[in-house]
Amino acid sequence: MNLFFKNSCSSLITMFLAVHAVLGNEVAMNTEFEKLGMQYIEQSTAFSPVRATGLGDHRFDDQLDEISGEARAKRILWTDSLIERLERIDPRKLSRENQVDYALLRHSIQAQLWKLKELQKWAWNPLIYTGLAGDAIHGLMSRDFAPQRVRLKNVAERLEQFPRFHEQVRNNLVINRVPAVHAKTAVAQNRGVLKILDHTVRPLIDDLPKAERERLVHAIEVAEKAIGKHQEWLESELLPHAKGDFRLGIELYEKKLNFTLHTPLTRREIRDLAEQRVRSLHEEMYDIAKGVYLKQYPLTDFPERPSDAYRRAIIRFGLEQAYAETPKADEIVATAKRSVAMATDFIRKQDLITLMPDRLEIIIMPEFQRGVSLAYCDTPGPLETGQKTFYAVSPIPEKWTQKQINSHLREYNTRSLDVLTIHEAMPGHFLQLAHANRFAGKLRHMFQSGVFVEGWAVYSEWMMCQEGFRDHDPLLKLITLKWYLRDATNAILDHAVHVDGISRSDAMRLLVEDAFQEEREAAGKWTRAQLTSAQLSTYFVGYLEHVAMRREAEQLWGDEFNLKTYHDKVLSYGSPPTQFVRVLLHEHVIPLPGAVLQTLE
């Protein structure tokens, strides 16, 4: 055999074997990671049966969360062992989709450990527990994922565990660490669990066979006694002695912001961008309001360089025209239904995004979930199929004065409810999450990014307005800009509350004067900023990232850019942080985390 030919064959064989070894290693690495991901899904949900029900994992529907110190220690030990296994995986050898999921899993594990060990909400936030107690029943009864008789049996099982659960709550909470605003809200929410029983469980008791009926009736009595005992403790022990600081402080806030946003932007950059955007939005709103003003006063000669006070006065004039159209106090849900129909019809006619056949129901917000926001979108769990989504709207509190009611209705005028509906339902959260739930990989569904989800919803408000919803109505544009102004000032407020120590009066001035919010909305936002942290920044940051991603697509795709194609593609990857959607969309390099994970001491 020719020596050159022999050497060439030998080199080719060596190269083939090397390539085969590399490919085999990569296949093995992907297999190992996917196995780890499936184990994470199967094992993590066991630590919170209530959350598992919400996700669509119904193996633990008869169990109520164990929240003792021993249970936390077990969870920390399990998470540490997961980190050890994740360290053995080289993300560079994973497929692009798995690289994204690796980064999300790594980030989520670190966040979970930090929350358990450093943030320690379990010791000072009673709202965690009122939410768990309410969702324990609401999650079983709100959707028909199993026969009614089976779900009621599981309700009885969970209700029987209420005494143990509430005893653990009282053992967990360190009274002098609980902020007064959290204690006050918990007092208001705790009895809301009883309303869930009244509305969704009691009407069905007579449908059960005798033995099951008797057990459920007894379980309700056990739960009512436990809730009553807990209510007494909340009012007599917790509320009078709750002296904790609701402000996180710069160190905790920066860490939580980083875990929540998962974005390259820093706290200071976000604050600076928000302040710049407030100024530019005032200019945009002034330009629109001038046109509204001229319709009524066509001979007006506006100054070339209006003062800030002059601009604000003209903006308020324009807003007053929108406030003139308000729903009746008892027709907010009906108005929201009409808005959903209008938005859906507009999207279909303009062919903006692929509509999904998923079911949407607009409901009055359950009482145990009130007190934080006006509305929310409650989608079926990502491990669930075929279940309905709820667009929940909070009713006007019965104790409000007429002045407070009028303030609320001015803020949520008919055009504002249109924007709210776009945000929460169509094409905001409802449609986006309907697309996301069709993503094949289950692991990614466990790490839904608030920045992507809220950013999409805010982007949807702007996009619908730009595309001509409500016939390019200038008042809708003004209200839409006001909503975006709210997002920018919310990011400022979030930072100002937890880092700068802003007072209530200064916060109200920011919200009312700079963001043109009504007193009731501003007061509610002040409460929300105390009860939460970092989440109020997700809307502003998410919108910035969505707009930047679309502009990049328009530049790269050129004449081939199509809005529907773009929207469907963006929504096809699930709900990971926007930075990952961007690199998947444009086939950029996946931003991988550092090579080594460290457990948190």
* Per-residue confidence (pLDDT) for residue 550, from 0 to 100: 97
Q: Is the pLDDT of residue 537 over 60?
A: yes
DSSP, res 513: I
Cα distance between residue 204 and residue 411, in whole Å = 39
Q: Among residues 406, 393, 260, which one has the least CA distance to residue 323?
A: 406
Residues whose CB falls within 8 Å of the CB of residue 279, separated by 6 or more in sequence, listed in order: none
The percentage of residues in the chain with a pLDDT greater than 70, rounded to a whole number, is 93
| Residue where the block lists tokens 């009130």 | 370
Average pLDDT of every residue of the chain: 91
* Per-residue confidence (pLDDT) for residue 594, from 0 to 100: 53
* Per-residue confidence (pLDDT) for residue 587, from 0 to 100: 87
Cα distance between residue 532 and residue 8, in whole Å = 67
* Per-residue confidence (pLDDT) for residue 20, from 0 to 100: 44
Which comes out higher in pLDDT, residue 369 or 330? 330
Query: Quick check: 163 and 211 in contact, CB under 8 A?
Result: no
Strands 360-364 and 389-393, by their bridges, are parallel
Q: Among residues 86, 139, 349, 129, which one has the least CA distance to residue 233?
A: 129
Q: Among residues 165, 135, 67, which one has the least CA distance to residue 369?
A: 135
Residue 133 lies in a domain: no
- CB-count exposure of residue 191 (10 Å: 0-12, 13-18, 19+): middle
235-244, 329-338, 517-526: range with lowest mean pLDDT: 329-338
Joined together, the tokens standing for residue 63 give 């169990």
The tens digit of pLDDT for each residue in 290-316 reads 999 999 999 999 999 999 999 999 999
- CB-count exposure of residue 18 (10 Å: 0-12, 13-18, 19+): exposed
Q: Is the pLDDT of residue 498 over 50?
A: yes
* Per-residue confidence (pLDDT) for residue 278, from 0 to 100: 97
* Per-residue confidence (pLDDT) for residue 329, from 0 to 100: 77
Task: Spell 35-65 as b/e; 16+ CB within 10 A means b.
Answer: ebbeebbeebbebbbbbbbbbbbbebbbbbb
* Per-residue confidence (pLDDT) for residue 12, from 0 to 100: 47
Joined together, the tokens standing for residue 342 give 């209008």
3-state helix, strand and coil shares in percent for the chain, rounded to the nearest 5: 70, 5, 25
* Per-residue confidence (pLDDT) for residue 335, from 0 to 100: 87
The tens digit of pLDDT for each residue in 394-448 reads 777 778 888 888 888 888 889 999 999 999 999 999 999 999 988 988 899 889 9
Residue 209 lies in a domain: no
* Average pLDDT score over residue span 128-142: 94
Joined together, the tokens standing for residue 398 give 């019965």
The pLDDT confidence band at residue 371, using thresholds 50, 70 and 90, is: low
The pLDDT confidence band at residue 11, using thresholds 50, 70 and 90, is: low
Cα distance between residue 354 and residue 341, in whole Å = 16
Query: Quick check: 134 and 369 in contact, CB under 8 A?
Result: yes
The percentage of residues in the chain with a pLDDT greater than 90, rounded to a whole number, is 76
Residue 569 lies in a domain: yes
Residue 291 lies in a domain: yes
Cα distance between residue 49 and residue 136, in whole Å = 8
Residues whose CB falls within 8 Å of the CB of residue 170, separated by 6 or more in sequence, listed in order: 230, 233
Radius of gyration of the chain from Cα atoms? 26
Residue 198 lies in a domain: no
Give residue 4's identity as a one-letter amino acid code: F
Joined together, the tokens standing for residue 417 give 């409810």
**Structurally, how many domains does the chain consist of?**
1
Q: State the residue range of the domain holding 481.
A: 267-586
Q: What is the pTM of this model?
A: 0.89
Residue 467 lies in a domain: yes
Q: Is the pLDDT of residue 18 over 70?
A: no
Helix (H) or strand (E) holding 317: helix 308-323
Residue 176 lies in a domain: no
Q: Is the pLDDT of residue 9 over 90?
A: no
The tens digit of pLDDT for each residue in 354-363 reads 999 998 888 8
- The angle subtended at Cα 226 by Cα 185 and Cα 131, nearest 5°, is 35
398: left (phi over 0), alpha (psi -120 to 50) or beta: alpha
Residue 375 lies in a domain: yes
Return phi, psi of residue 106, to 5°.
-60, -45
Q: Is the pLDDT of residue 194 over 70?
A: yes
Q: Please give the torsion angle defined by the CA atoms of residues 255, 257, 260 and 266, in that order, rounded to the nearest 10 degrees.
A: -110
* Per-residue confidence (pLDDT) for residue 370, from 0 to 100: 63
- Looking at the DSSP bridge assignments, the partners of residue 376 are 392
The pLDDT confidence band at residue 125, using thresholds 50, 70 and 90, is: very high
Strands (E), 231-378: 360-364, 375-378
| Residue where the block lists tokens 């963006």 | 570
